[in-house]
Structure 1
Amino acid sequence: MPEGHTVHRLADAFEQGFGGRRVRVSSPQGRFAAEAERLDGQVLVEAEAVGKHLLLGFAPSADTALTDPAVSFVHVHLGLYGSWTFAGDAGFASAPAIGAPRRRVGEVEGDLDVEQDWRRLVPRATVRVRIAGPDGLADLTGPTACELYDATQREALLTRLGPDPLRRDADPSRFVQKVRRSRSGIGVLLMNQDVIAGAGNIYRAEALFRARLDPFVPGEHLTASLVEGIWEDLSALMDYGARTGRIVTTEPEHRDIEARIVERSRGTRQNGDDDPAVVPREKSFYVYHRQTLPCRLCATTVRSAELAGRTVFWCPRCQSVRSRRAVWSREHPAAAWALPGEGLGSGTAGD
């Protein structure tokens, strides 16, 4: 499932490819046909990401205010199997595909030159929504949710979700308060989108390692400063992810230590994996998918367990904090973190 930074990149791709343009909207699959007919010929006035949710605002004209009742919002949650794929003129969108399975539009068209002949591309029967503008198109397949919202429903979604570290209007105090009032483990809370929107399984594992925090410690046992530190670290990590399409949490001096990862059958794929200039995935994480391998910092075997419906990964030695009364010090030799810098390498198109 795409993490929040990916959905923000998706919103940027829509702004770049369709923002302020009148578009054609269709539903080749038929499951969004009535809604598509209503939106067809309108202008995309906004593409907005909040956590793992994408909201595309459509209006009769480009100067329609977002508060106008005439504005409708397509709400999309990709889930595990959803994806948007793009095709168009050179420079049309910032990514050819976002989500799973990351197959580009037209890959089944044989020798067709997608960039030159994108207008001739016939949508697959599984395409829920096709949006086509003057410079390109985008196809949606396999989403968990694809529905039409009005302004009230959009506002209700924004109110329900926790603060998103990538949004300018985010209020980190909401995150801090919800964590410190909960008896649930911090590893559970970081996966709860009503507590913090956009963090997924990779960010959960890596942020907790960087904080030296045991995933099972109850939120109510944590100090405000510690929870604020998690927010600040996630904000920096996710901002890097939004800019590059890659999750990289390791510091440069740690990347060549035990540079291994326990791959699944499909592998932990990231944007730009084929680019030798970026940090390879086996060097990108401290604990995520490194179960049974030595910790990069202390050589203790990294562990894994089921938590909140997903597998959590942690180092039992480095992450030993279980309460605010436990001994914890930022002077731990491996506890001083620099933020990911531009030297990490930039991603290429595709997420």
Structure 2
Amino acid sequence: MPEGHTLYALARDLDDAFRGTSPAVTSPQGKFAGGAALICGHEVLGATSWGKHLFVEFSGDRWLWVHLGLIGTFRIDNLAYAGDAPVVGQVRCRFATDSHVADLRGPMVCDVVTPEKVDEILSRLGPDPLRPSDVRSDPDLAWKRIQRSGKPIAELLMDQAVLAGVGNVYRSEVLFRLRVNPFRPGNKLQRKYWRAMWDEFVTLLPLGVATSKIVTVHDQVEDVARLLDEGEDVRLTERESYVYRRAGEPCHVCGSRIRTQVVAGRNLFWCGNCQRRG
């Protein structure tokens, strides 16, 4: 499932391509024909995201709400390169102008909603580390939910009501970076470790936005941050990791075998020797 940095970048790109335009909105697949008709020809006022949820605001108090789920994609093409942009596959929703076309395939949610519904959705979500200056992104709100729960911290980090946008890769890697035991109950976790996690997410997710890759390994993080500070356009071809998808391989720090177990429906990866804190 795409994590928050992917949705943030997608919202940015949709905003760049369609803000101020009145795209033709259709549903080549047919499943979204009614919703497409409600926003077709309306002006796009902007696109934004919160965690794993994407919102496109149209004139007339109409919002497109999208959650990509496990298999969804939303691809934007410049028509100068895409040609006539024929429909390929099961396209749930298509935006089209003279310059761009965007095709949404396989989303878990695709619906036209009211501003009140958008507010309701946002009220259910935890703080978003990609928007730390937003008043709704108070890490103490997440901490209150964590300290009231006996669930493992690895499970709580995947709960979007606790923390918005963090998924399996970031939880595995950040817990390792801080050497935190992923099975520590939330109500047994020391607050300083939660604040350290929040700071890690606030640091790492923007690097994911900038590079289109999840960057977590120390040397790579430093290199990418330095290049971005220097104004360079960074594109990574490979994603390095400490523990993610390295089950059975030796830990880069201590040499112990990396372990894996399903937690909150996804394969968690960790080092039992290094990760004892929290």
Task: Check the 8 A contact 2:38/2:112 in 1, yes or no.
Answer: no
TM-score (norm: length of structure 1): 0.72
Structure 2 runs not aligned, ≥5 long: 223-233
Task: Check the 8 A contact 1:254/1:296 in 2, yes or no.
Answer: no
Give the SS at the match of 1:74: strand
Q: Distance in 2 between matches of 1:143 and 1:232?
A: 30
Task: Check the 8 A contact 2:14/2:76 in 1, yes or no.
Answer: no
TM-superposed deviation, 1:89: 4.3
- Equivalent residues in 2 for 1:4-83 (5 A)? 4-59=4-59, 70-83=60-73
Give the SS at the match of 1:138: strand
User: Which one has a bigger Cα radius of gyration?
Assistant: 1
Q: 2:140 aligns with which of 150, 173, 178?
A: 173
Task: Check the 8 A contact 2:79/2:101 in 1, yes or no.
Answer: no
- Equivalent residues in 2 for 1:108-257 (5 A)? 115=81, 117=83, 120-124=84-88, 126-167=90-131, 168-169=133-134, 170-252=137-219
Q: 2:256 aligns with which of 296, 300, 309?
A: 300
TM-superposed deviation, 1:214: 0.8
Q: 1:313 aligns with which of 227, 250, 269?
A: 269
Structure 1 runs not aligned, ≥5 long: 60-69, 91-114, 256-275, 324-351
Give the SS at the match of 1:35: helix
TM-superposed deviation, 1:14: 0.3
Q: Distance in 1 between matches of 2:3 and 2:186?
A: 22
Q: Distance in 2 between matches of 1:309 and 1:131?
A: 33
Higher share of residues assigned helix: 2
Task: Check the 8 A contact 1:25/1:37 in 2, yes or no.
Answer: yes
TM-superposed deviation, 1:227: 0.5
Correspondence for 1:85: 75
Please give the per-residue CA displacement for 1:284-329, whole angstroms capped at 9, x wherever unaligned: 11000111011001111111111111110000111012x5xxxxxx
Give the number of equivalent residue pairs.
264
AA paired with 2:253? L
Q: Distance in 2 between matches of 1:135 and 1:299?
A: 53
Q: Distance in 1 between matches of 2:149 and 2:6?
A: 28
Root-mean-square deviation (CA, aligned residues, Å) is: 1.9
Task: Check the 8 A contact 1:248/1:279 in 2, yes or no.
Answer: no
TM-score (norm: length of structure 2): 0.90
Give the SS at the match of 2:98: coil
Q: Distance in 1 between matches of 2:157 and 2:82?
A: 44
TM-superposed deviation, 1:87: 1.7
Q: Distance in 1 between matches of 2:29 and 2:217?
A: 42
Please give the per-residue CA displacement for 1:221-252, whole angstroms capped at 9, x wherever unaligned: 11222111100101111111111111111112
AA paired with 2:118? R
